[in-house]
A and B are shown apart, each in its own frame.
Chain A
């Protein structure tokens, strides 16, 4: 049951947190004076007044950009462990250094093909 015991600690923490939150809210509710005014009810009491609702449509392009960014970001993460290992390769290892380099270029090439496709489809155009 060690697995659930770990979560047990976590659960106690969650419960304690909730209790603390509730306690603070209750205490402040009890102690503070209540004098509402329209000014006080705005979302931000300073700066530009909020307009419209929080649910607005965002251009789908941002999604594609974000997507492409994430893909190449993840690729960079893959490059690091590869770089660590590729230095230790030589003729005695089951995989030769040349092989490792070609493999990585194939990987990057595949991703680049995706980018090229996206470009061809016109999703990279800004306006």
Chain B
């Protein structure tokens, strides 16, 4: 019987390379950068062949009418030897520039992908035509594109922000950038994954990379502790998630999310097994995005990890995790809506209140931002439980605004940490508004955005999500959200107040920004303002993102 099956001709799916072109480019970049790191001192030996291969591939692509991917390949192929010859003795600078350029390339490829699946255009509001690829394993739809944008943008900003910091702490090891790129690939894949296996693999790719990144500071006990805690707890969560996926497969007999969705909608489906699967998946994903009560790892891990890694984790992991949540719940579990909507709504309410209240009593800035990130997971969940197009695009948009705001805030923390070392408490911030107004100003701006005050990005983010919540009839949840944002405003404001309304301690050294940090911080701050005043560009994309592969 088994043998008879095996002899049947196997169906080999068409490989639509363009559907994961950005990830492909980044993976290749990560591998090449790692090779360069291995060939320390003889970097040309790696760079030149890699460049030749890349150029050849690029030219071939251009001849195949694929001008944009070809152009990206050629550009990266040319940039690589240029970097190696420009900085022969400074490996980490090659790594940083290489990673940054690869991420720019990935953003270009994302834009190219986006344009190819757009319909309409002109003055009309364009809509995305969702495309499934690799026999349904990937879905190139709105969630995928928006998650890519958020994640790549975050990666692109984290590289310069972290460069000087890693050097100061002497943890600028060669594997940082490749790991970062691989984590980014995992996150983007998580946003694209349209079946359970791809989803799980993507989740593990990003998690494994982050476990290592969290423990980057090998001499720092807290960093080690953070890494170990994250790993152990993450493994538990992954196991629970995997079990949930298995049960879902048992109940539906399908792995592809749309197929699960239609199968679970049938009356013949075993609802008990399906519900068990749903519950366990909720636990697993709730852990990844830090919903109460699965949030406990967050403060310890965020506080202990190197700050640039924390920034990356806070901004990008959340975006990727919510992309998976959105896709799973809206595509695979619409049949069980009556079950998960109230549960997630309660979790969201708990998360918002709990995070805000605990942030109130924190003294350490990184820990406070960790609790703040927990709170923000609650806000983003409002868009999920709204179960509407508005909620979907609202959550995606919210995550982008949160990402830029929190990146800016962490970048300022890095600037302060660089000269003062150790932890940054509230006391160390006194009078910063007078001694270094630029950093204090940008930190305040980002905190105001996190608090959701106009005219910053965070305000528009909250507004859109709350709006979707009210439209879905979840007024009670929105009221809780607004209340928690008032509590949250209190502690964000306390920081701003400490910086501007108190006297400085002259003994403390002034914060110092490296050039990369300056650029990263400035871009984040500019985005916070731009997305607040002129959010239309990205809101359109988010709005058209409501088209899913179902």
Give chain A's interface residues, CB within 8 Å of chain B. 1-4, 84-85, 88, 93-95, 110, 113, 116-117, 120
Contacts and interface: CB of A to CB of B under 8 A. Distances in A.
A84 B40 CA distance: 40
21 contacts: A1-B270, A2-B270, A4-B272, A4-B273, A84-B6, A85-B10, A88-B9, A88-B10, A94-B12, A94-B13, A94-B15, A95-B12, A110-B31, A113-B35, A113-B38, A116-B38, A117-B34, A117-B37, A117-B38, A120-B38, A120-B40
Contacts of A88: 9-10
A85 B251 CA distance: 31
B124 interface: no
Q: Dominant SS at the A interface?
A: helix
Give the contact-size bracket for chain B: 10 to 19
A84 to B, nearest CB: 8
A110 B27 CA distance: 10
Interface string B21-40: 00000000001001101101
Given A95-B15, A113-B34, A117-B38, A3 B10 contact: no
Contacts, number: 34
Interface of B: 6, 9-10, 12-15, 31, 34-35, 37-38, 40, 175, 250-251, 270, 272-273
A72 B302 CA distance: 34
A85 B6 CA distance: 10
A44 B397 CA distance: 66
Contacts of A1: 270, 272
Contacts of A2: 270
Nearest to B178: A117
A116 B14 CA distance: 33
B34 A3 contact: no
A120 B251 CA distance: 47
A94 B14 contact: yes
A85 B12 CA distance: 10
Q: Which 9 A-B pairs have the closest CB atoms?
A: A120-B38, A3-B273, A94-B14, A95-B12, A116-B38, A94-B12, A117-B38, A3-B250, A85-B10
B60 to A, nearest CB: 14
A71 B14 CA distance: 28
A3 B270 contact: yes
A45 B106 CA distance: 66
A98 B13 CA distance: 16
A113 B33 CA distance: 11
